[in-house]
A = this chain, B = another copy of it.
Amino acid sequence: MKTYLDCISCFFRQGLDAARMTTEDEKIQKKILDEIAMIVPKFPLNSTPPEMGRIIHKIVCKFTNSSDPYKKVKDKYNKEALKFYPELKKKTREAKDPLLVAIKIAIAGNVIDFGVNEVKNKIDIEKELKNTLKQDSAIFDYDKLKNFLEKTEEILYLGDNAGEIVFDRILIEELQKKVIYVVREKPIINDVTIEDALFAGIDKIAKVISSGCDAPGTILRYCSKEFLNHYYKAELIISKGQGNYETLSEEKRPIFFLLKAKCPIIAKDLGCRVRDIILKTQSLK
């Protein structure tokens, strides 16, 4: 997905939000916004929004001497999400269609996204879960996914956010396949890194690798050879969240995007409404 003009105002919101998490000094916060402003005229719109997300993060880190502004928020939501694990496990096991419930749980977790939400707005995970489980969707390629699962032994699973990763675990366990779980190379917004995968116990049920990319998405030209090797041979890729969708939506690979559409721009791009839950694959040859 290209960067829409509407994304530009959001870059400043995102930058300010990250700045406020690391410093209370208004002058530094303003400097960060000024630096983003100086990048905007040079930023080509055919780049994807996570390209700018990556730049913003570097600016914030540079001016605040922080390498991980969202560390506390990530820890908080990891811990909070983990509390739901036993209940969700039970819910999945008792369901008529456990895979469908596990998919919806994984999508519900995608609401824990501070690229879109402001950190000050507390996310009500319980309410989100309840709503998502009973929510229908206009874009839900569930039968296609089941067809792919029948023919596939190994799944490349692109993780998205801390907290959300606990809900990914429910789905991975339900898939009953060999899974390679992919995290970001370095901390970026509240995206998953290796530490989050270890915290959520993903290493016990999947092989965990880094994409090599330090953007809040999967920008292939920044990815490691190891990741690309898996990516190009994968017969089934599950891609979580907006950032991965934004960076891979035009790829011709067997990708199933699982996400909650959280902003009007991505909803427009997907052809759905804000807050819709999405399981979407592109038409493959």
Asked whether A26 lies within 8 Å of B5 as measured between CB atoms, the reply is: yes
Chain B residues within an 8 Å CB radius of A16: 5-6, 8-9
The answer to whether residues A29 and B5 also contact, given A34-B41, A37-B37, A37-B40 and a CB cut-off of 8 A, is yes
Chain B residues within an 8 Å CB radius of A41: 34, 37-38
Asked whether B29 lies within 8 Å of A33 as measured between CB atoms, the reply is: no
Measured CB to CB, the closest approach of chain B to A11, in angstroms, equals: 8
Measured CB to CB, the closest approach of chain B to A191, in angstroms, equals: 21
Closest to A12 in B: B9
- Provide the A1-24 mask, 1 if CB < 8 A to any CB of B, else 0: 000011011111100100000000
Considering the chains assembled together, what is the distance between the CA atoms of A41 and B11 in angstroms? 15
Considering the chains assembled together, what is the distance between the CA atoms of A5 and B118 in angstroms? 14
A267 at the binding interface (Cβ < 8 Å): no
Considering the chains assembled together, what is the distance between the CA atoms of A33 and B37 in angstroms? 10
A30 at the binding interface (Cβ < 8 Å): yes
Measured CB to CB, the closest approach of chain B to A22, in angstroms, equals: 14
The answer to whether residues A40 and B45 also contact, given A8-B16, A13-B9 and a CB cut-off of 8 A, is no
- Provide the A78-116 mask, 1 if CB < 8 A to any CB of B, else 0: 000000000000000000000000000000000000000
Which residues 27-63 of A sit at the B interface, judged by CB distance below 8 A?
29-30, 33-34, 37-38, 40-41, 45
Considering the chains assembled together, what is the distance between the CA atoms of A285 and B47 in angstroms? 57
Which of B9, B29, B30 sits near A9, CB closer than 8 Å? B9
Chain B residues within an 8 Å CB radius of A9: 9-13, 16
Considering the chains assembled together, what is the distance between the CA atoms of A11 and B36 in angstroms? 14
Considering the chains assembled together, what is the distance between the CA atoms of A41 and B45 in angstroms? 22
Which residues 145-202 of A sit at the B interface, judged by CB distance below 8 A?
none
Chain B residues within an 8 Å CB radius of A29: 5
Q: Give 5 closest A-B pairs by Cβ, nearest first.
A: A9-B12, A37-B40, A34-B41, A37-B37, A9-B13
* Extra A-B contacts (15), CB below 8 Å, given A5-B30, A37-B40: A5-B26, A5-B33, A6-B16, A8-B33, A8-B37, A9-B9, A9-B10, A9-B12, A33-B40, A34-B40, A34-B41, A37-B37, A37-B38, A38-B38, A38-B41
